Amino acid sequence: MLETAWSAASANLLAPAILFFVLGAFAGWAKSDLSVPDQVAKILALYLMMAIGFKGGVEANASGFTAEFARAGGFGLAFSFLAPFAAFAVLRFVCRIERITAAATAAHYGSVSVVTFAAGSEYLRSIGVEFSGHMAAVLALMETPAILAALLIVGSNGRAPGARFQPALWREVLLNGAALLLTGSFVIGLITGEAGMARIGGFVSGALFQGVLCLFLLDMGVIAARRLAETRTLRLVHVMFATAWPLLSAMFALFAAKVLGLSLGDATLLAVLSGSASYIAVPAAIRMALPKADAGVYLPMSLAMTFPFNLVIGIPLYHAAAQWIIG
């Protein structure tokens, strides 16, 4: 099993998407002028979310609503809401991060990363492991509860300093573009099924999807390296949290998946989701909700540390652990 896991991990490290991320990180570290224009990067992100949601909906249409989906979705909602409370305690009292920034950082680690999910899905496909289409819906369910948890931690009634909870924030949380597109695309795929895939399958899958993922990860590599170089507030304990917390979260999710009776592929993706950290949806909401939170802490931790850790090491490691736990 160890030999198989190592072989799969090595193959993942040599996948084009991972190598493009490394190229981007090198460009950012070397202070190259390589960059993807902001509007292009946004289009790439929108495409990935649409493709992931739509393909998941089509696959869910083929398999139907299952008890496994209900169990995975229920766990995802509970984990996304409760995990920030535990993460906050560690960030506050072990990492010694001030209260508002600790709550903001905890929200990032309770939510999920769409691109990490995409990379995990492609990794499983590359090694021939099947997973359910409804995992894309689980991804959408796990997007926003962590933001609400962070507001409760700080004081959603507005009496706590630095917390702002107003109608505009509700709109940001509940109608967040990433969550809305993921959910909407999933529903469209669920409604249209194989007929819909026959019409736009060439657009949302195959070589086009792989190419867009490579270009997006190239941009992420550049941004992550530059964020890491710019920050002056992080210490070793922050780095340790950014790598250890995903491992703990993923292992917890795998044991839960064992109890819930999830398949090997679904368990792996549940671990990938639980071990990931948001750097798209949550920062937008946190910027409005907790304006006094230090972005120089939560963005480098989620984007420049946890994201590359999961991309290069975490995904194959979670799958190897899933093989051991799930069987």
Maximum Cα–Cα distance for the chain, whole Å? 55
CATH number listed for the domain at residues 36-200+236-326: 1.20.1530.20
Yes or no: say if 237 and 211 are a contact pair by the CB < 8 Å rule: no
Give the pLDDT score at 2.
45
More confident residue, 120 or 223: 120
Tokens 């799930």 -> residue:
326
pLDDT band per the 50, 70, 90 thresholds, residue 256? very high
pLDDT higher than threshold 70 for residue 159: no
Task: Say which range, 12-16, 209-213, 243-247, 299-303, has the weakest mean pLDDT.
Answer: 12-16
Give the pLDDT score at 171.
67
pLDDT mean over 168-190: 73
Separation CA 125–CA 127 (nearest Å): 5
Separation CA 273–CA 71 (nearest Å): 15
pLDDT higher than threshold 80 for residue 176: no
Amino acid at 319: H
pLDDT mean over 40-45: 85
pLDDT mean over 290-314: 86
Yes or no: say if 316 and 211 are a contact pair by the CB < 8 Å rule: no
Separation CA 83–CA 81 (nearest Å): 6
Yes or no: say if 81 and 149 are a contact pair by the CB < 8 Å rule: yes
pLDDT higher than threshold 80 for residue 7: no
Q: Average per-residue pLDDT in the chain?
A: 84
Give the pLDDT score at 91.
96
Confidence (pTM): 0.79
Give the pLDDT score at 177.
67
pLDDT higher than threshold 50 for residue 1: no
CA separation, residue 223 to residues 7, 20, 160, 261, 298 (Å): 29, 13, 33, 39, 14
Task: Say which range, 224-228, 271-275, 286-290, has the weakest mean pLDDT.
Answer: 286-290
